[in-house]
Chain A
Amino acid sequence: MGNLDKYSKIFMKSFSVEKTKLKKLKYQSVPQWDSVGHMSMVGALEDAFKITLEMDDIIDFSSFEKGKKILKKYKIKI
Protein backbone atom coordinates (compact mmCIF):
# COMPACT_ATOMS: atom_id res chain seq x y z
CA MET A 1 0.00 0.00 0.00
CA GLY A 2 1.38 3.45 -0.97
CA ASN A 3 1.66 6.33 1.46
CA LEU A 4 -1.33 8.18 -0.03
CA ASP A 5 -3.54 5.13 0.39
CA LYS A 6 -2.33 4.62 3.94
CA TYR A 7 -2.82 8.31 4.77
CA SER A 8 -6.28 8.44 3.17
CA LYS A 9 -7.52 5.30 4.89
CA ILE A 10 -6.64 6.72 8.29
CA PHE A 11 -8.81 9.78 7.61
CA MET A 12 -11.65 7.69 6.16
CA LYS A 13 -11.62 5.41 9.19
CA SER A 14 -11.08 8.11 11.84
CA PHE A 15 -13.79 10.43 10.55
CA SER A 16 -16.14 8.06 8.67
CA VAL A 17 -15.84 9.98 5.41
CA GLU A 18 -15.75 8.85 1.80
CA LYS A 19 -12.62 9.14 -0.31
CA THR A 20 -14.23 11.79 -2.53
CA LYS A 21 -14.65 14.14 0.46
CA LEU A 22 -11.05 13.97 1.67
CA LYS A 23 -9.59 16.84 -0.35
CA LYS A 24 -11.82 19.41 1.37
CA LEU A 25 -11.75 17.80 4.79
CA LYS A 26 -10.85 20.23 7.58
CA TYR A 27 -10.82 20.24 11.36
CA GLN A 28 -14.42 20.42 12.60
CA SER A 29 -15.84 20.19 9.05
CA VAL A 30 -17.41 16.88 10.11
CA PRO A 31 -18.67 16.05 13.63
CA GLN A 32 -16.14 13.22 14.01
CA TRP A 33 -13.16 15.56 13.55
CA ASP A 34 -13.39 17.15 16.97
CA SER A 35 -10.65 17.47 19.58
CA VAL A 36 -10.81 13.80 20.54
CA GLY A 37 -11.03 12.67 16.90
CA HIS A 38 -8.02 14.86 16.15
CA MET A 39 -5.89 13.06 18.74
CA SER A 40 -7.11 9.69 17.56
CA MET A 41 -6.18 10.52 13.94
CA VAL A 42 -2.76 11.86 15.00
CA GLY A 43 -2.12 8.69 16.99
CA ALA A 44 -3.09 6.51 14.04
CA LEU A 45 -0.75 8.43 11.71
CA GLU A 46 2.10 8.13 14.20
CA ASP A 47 1.58 4.37 14.45
CA ALA A 48 1.22 3.88 10.70
CA PHE A 49 4.26 5.95 9.70
CA LYS A 50 6.33 5.28 12.85
CA ILE A 51 6.83 8.95 13.66
CA THR A 52 6.15 11.25 16.61
CA LEU A 53 4.61 14.57 15.68
CA GLU A 54 5.76 17.69 17.48
CA MET A 55 3.20 19.76 19.38
CA ASP A 56 3.28 22.67 16.88
CA ASP A 57 2.66 20.29 14.00
CA ILE A 58 -0.31 18.68 15.77
CA ILE A 59 -1.83 22.13 16.24
CA ASP A 60 -1.12 23.12 12.60
CA PHE A 61 -2.60 19.86 11.30
CA SER A 62 -5.90 21.51 10.42
CA SER A 63 -6.85 19.77 7.17
CA PHE A 64 -6.26 16.70 5.04
CA GLU A 65 -4.14 18.72 2.60
CA LYS A 66 -2.20 20.58 5.31
CA GLY A 67 -1.31 17.26 6.88
CA LYS A 68 0.46 16.13 3.70
CA LYS A 69 2.79 19.14 3.93
CA ILE A 70 3.42 18.54 7.62
CA LEU A 71 4.36 14.90 7.05
CA LYS A 72 6.99 16.01 4.52
CA LYS A 73 8.93 17.43 7.49
CA TYR A 74 9.12 13.88 8.80
CA LYS A 75 10.37 12.59 5.46
CA ILE A 76 7.00 11.03 4.64
CA LYS A 77 6.07 11.81 1.05
CA ILE A 78 2.34 11.53 0.41
Chain B
Amino acid sequence: MKKKSLNSVELLDYQPNRYPFLMIDYVTKIIPGKKAIGYKNFTNNEWFFPIHFPGHPNVPGALQLEALAQMLTVAITTLPGNKGKVTHAISHIVKFKREVLPGEKFDIETEVLSWKRGICKGTGKGIVSGQIACEAEMIITIPEILDQYIPKK
Protein backbone atom coordinates (compact mmCIF):
# COMPACT_ATOMS: atom_id res chain seq x y z
CA MET B 1 0.00 0.00 0.00
CA LYS B 2 1.49 3.32 -1.06
CA LYS B 3 -1.11 5.69 0.37
CA LYS B 4 -0.07 7.37 3.62
CA SER B 5 -3.56 8.23 4.97
CA LEU B 6 -7.18 7.05 4.64
CA ASN B 7 -10.31 9.17 4.63
CA SER B 8 -13.57 7.83 6.04
CA VAL B 9 -14.55 6.19 2.75
CA GLU B 10 -11.15 4.72 1.90
CA LEU B 11 -10.93 3.35 5.43
CA LEU B 12 -13.80 0.96 4.74
CA ASP B 13 -11.54 -1.15 2.51
CA TYR B 14 -9.16 -1.84 5.39
CA GLN B 15 -11.47 -1.98 8.40
CA PRO B 16 -14.47 -4.35 8.41
CA ASN B 17 -16.44 -2.57 11.16
CA ARG B 18 -19.30 -0.32 10.13
CA TYR B 19 -21.50 2.37 11.69
CA PRO B 20 -22.37 2.47 14.55
CA PHE B 21 -19.44 0.31 15.58
CA LEU B 22 -16.71 1.87 13.45
CA MET B 23 -14.62 3.81 15.99
CA ILE B 24 -12.34 5.63 13.55
CA ASP B 25 -13.18 8.72 11.50
CA TYR B 26 -9.90 9.28 9.73
CA VAL B 27 -6.47 7.66 9.50
CA THR B 28 -3.91 10.42 9.19
CA LYS B 29 -0.73 8.36 8.99
CA ILE B 30 0.03 4.78 8.13
CA ILE B 31 3.25 2.86 7.94
CA PRO B 32 1.95 -0.61 7.02
CA GLY B 33 3.12 -3.26 9.45
CA LYS B 34 4.54 -0.59 11.77
CA LYS B 35 1.98 2.01 12.90
CA ALA B 36 -1.37 3.66 12.27
CA ILE B 37 -2.48 7.01 13.64
CA GLY B 38 -5.81 8.82 13.34
CA TYR B 39 -8.81 10.04 15.26
CA LYS B 40 -12.47 9.72 16.13
CA ASN B 41 -14.62 12.75 16.93
CA PHE B 42 -17.12 11.86 19.61
CA THR B 43 -19.98 14.24 18.89
CA ASN B 44 -23.12 14.68 20.97
CA ASN B 45 -24.95 12.52 18.43
CA GLU B 46 -23.15 9.29 19.34
CA TRP B 47 -25.64 6.48 19.96
CA PHE B 48 -24.25 5.58 23.38
CA PHE B 49 -24.27 9.00 25.08
CA PRO B 50 -28.00 8.98 26.00
CA ILE B 51 -27.54 5.63 27.78
CA HIS B 52 -23.95 5.89 29.07
CA PHE B 53 -24.94 7.65 31.24
CA PRO B 54 -28.09 9.80 31.51
CA GLY B 55 -26.94 13.06 33.03
CA HIS B 56 -23.24 12.19 32.75
CA PRO B 57 -22.48 11.14 29.18
CA ASN B 58 -18.99 9.74 28.50
CA VAL B 59 -17.43 7.29 26.05
CA PRO B 60 -17.58 3.69 27.31
CA GLY B 61 -14.14 2.28 28.04
CA ALA B 62 -14.89 -0.77 25.94
CA LEU B 63 -15.41 1.47 22.91
CA GLN B 64 -12.20 3.40 23.56
CA LEU B 65 -10.35 0.09 23.58
CA GLU B 66 -12.24 -0.95 20.44
CA ALA B 67 -10.99 2.22 18.73
CA LEU B 68 -7.39 1.31 19.54
CA ALA B 69 -7.87 -2.27 18.33
CA GLN B 70 -9.51 -1.09 15.12
CA MET B 71 -6.60 1.26 14.43
CA LEU B 72 -4.04 -1.49 15.10
CA THR B 73 -5.99 -3.61 12.63
CA VAL B 74 -5.48 -0.92 9.98
CA ALA B 75 -1.71 -1.10 10.52
CA ILE B 76 -1.91 -4.78 9.54
CA THR B 77 -4.64 -4.85 6.89
CA THR B 78 -2.70 -2.24 4.88
CA LEU B 79 0.12 -4.75 4.41
CA PRO B 80 0.19 -6.40 0.96
CA GLY B 81 -2.32 -9.25 0.73
CA ASN B 82 -4.24 -8.34 3.90
CA LYS B 83 -6.73 -5.85 2.49
CA GLY B 84 -10.29 -6.72 3.49
CA LYS B 85 -9.30 -9.52 5.84
CA VAL B 86 -11.19 -9.93 9.11
CA THR B 87 -9.29 -9.67 12.39
CA HIS B 88 -10.13 -11.04 15.83
CA ALA B 89 -8.94 -9.99 19.27
CA ILE B 90 -6.89 -12.47 21.28
CA SER B 91 -6.05 -10.50 24.39
CA HIS B 92 -6.01 -6.88 25.49
CA ILE B 93 -4.66 -5.24 28.61
CA VAL B 94 -5.96 -1.72 29.02
CA LYS B 95 -5.66 1.15 31.49
CA PHE B 96 -8.07 4.08 31.58
CA LYS B 97 -6.82 7.40 32.84
CA ARG B 98 -9.38 10.04 31.88
CA GLU B 99 -13.01 10.30 30.86
CA VAL B 100 -13.78 11.10 27.24
CA LEU B 101 -16.73 13.50 26.99
CA PRO B 102 -19.15 14.52 24.22
CA GLY B 103 -17.55 16.89 21.75
CA GLU B 104 -13.99 15.73 22.34
CA LYS B 105 -11.57 14.55 19.69
CA PHE B 106 -10.06 11.18 20.46
CA ASP B 107 -6.62 10.84 18.90
CA ILE B 108 -5.57 7.24 18.35
CA GLU B 109 -1.96 6.12 18.04
CA THR B 110 -1.04 2.48 17.54
CA GLU B 111 2.24 0.70 17.00
CA VAL B 112 2.96 -2.84 15.86
CA LEU B 113 5.52 -4.60 18.03
CA SER B 114 5.48 -7.81 16.03
CA TRP B 115 3.58 -9.32 13.12
CA LYS B 116 4.21 -12.93 12.30
CA ARG B 117 2.10 -15.78 10.90
CA GLY B 118 -1.22 -14.09 11.47
CA ILE B 119 -0.60 -12.75 14.96
CA CYS B 120 0.00 -9.08 15.71
CA LYS B 121 1.24 -7.76 19.04
CA GLY B 122 0.96 -4.04 19.46
CA THR B 123 0.29 -1.07 21.67
CA GLY B 124 -2.15 1.80 21.45
CA LYS B 125 -2.94 5.12 23.09
CA GLY B 126 -6.11 7.19 23.12
CA ILE B 127 -5.30 10.86 23.61
CA VAL B 128 -7.64 13.78 24.33
CA SER B 129 -6.36 17.36 24.39
CA GLY B 130 -2.81 16.07 24.77
CA GLN B 131 -3.72 13.87 27.76
CA ILE B 132 -3.66 10.08 27.66
CA ALA B 133 -7.20 8.81 28.15
CA CYS B 134 -6.34 5.16 27.79
CA GLU B 135 -3.50 2.91 26.74
CA ALA B 136 -3.44 -0.76 25.84
CA GLU B 137 -1.29 -3.73 24.98
CA MET B 138 -3.10 -5.76 22.36
CA ILE B 139 -2.82 -9.05 20.54
CA ILE B 140 -4.97 -9.46 17.45
CA THR B 141 -5.06 -12.09 14.75
CA ILE B 142 -6.11 -12.62 11.18
CA PRO B 143 -7.58 -16.12 11.59
CA GLU B 144 -7.39 -16.83 7.86
CA ILE B 145 -3.58 -16.57 8.06
CA LEU B 146 -3.12 -18.11 11.51
CA ASP B 147 -5.12 -21.21 10.54
CA GLN B 148 -2.61 -22.03 7.80
CA TYR B 149 0.04 -22.76 10.44
CA ILE B 150 -1.72 -24.89 13.02
CA PRO B 151 -1.32 -28.69 13.26
CA LYS B 152 -4.09 -30.65 11.58
CA LYS B 153 -5.86 -33.10 13.89
Contacts and interface: CB of A to CB of B under 8 A. Distances in A.
Contacts of B90: 36
Contacts of A62: 151
B148 interface: yes
Interface residues of B, number: 15
Interface string A36-78: 1011001100000000000100111110000000000000000
A35 B116 contact: no
A3 interface: no
A59 B152 contact: yes
Contact of A55 (B139, B146, B149, B153): B149
A41 to B, nearest CB: 11
Q: Is the interface of B mostly helix, strand, loop or mixed?
A: mixed
Nearest to A33: B151
A59 B117 CA distance: 12
B143 to A, nearest CB: 8
B46 interface: no
B151 A61 contact: yes
A7 interface: no
A38 B116 contact: no
A27 B118 contact: no
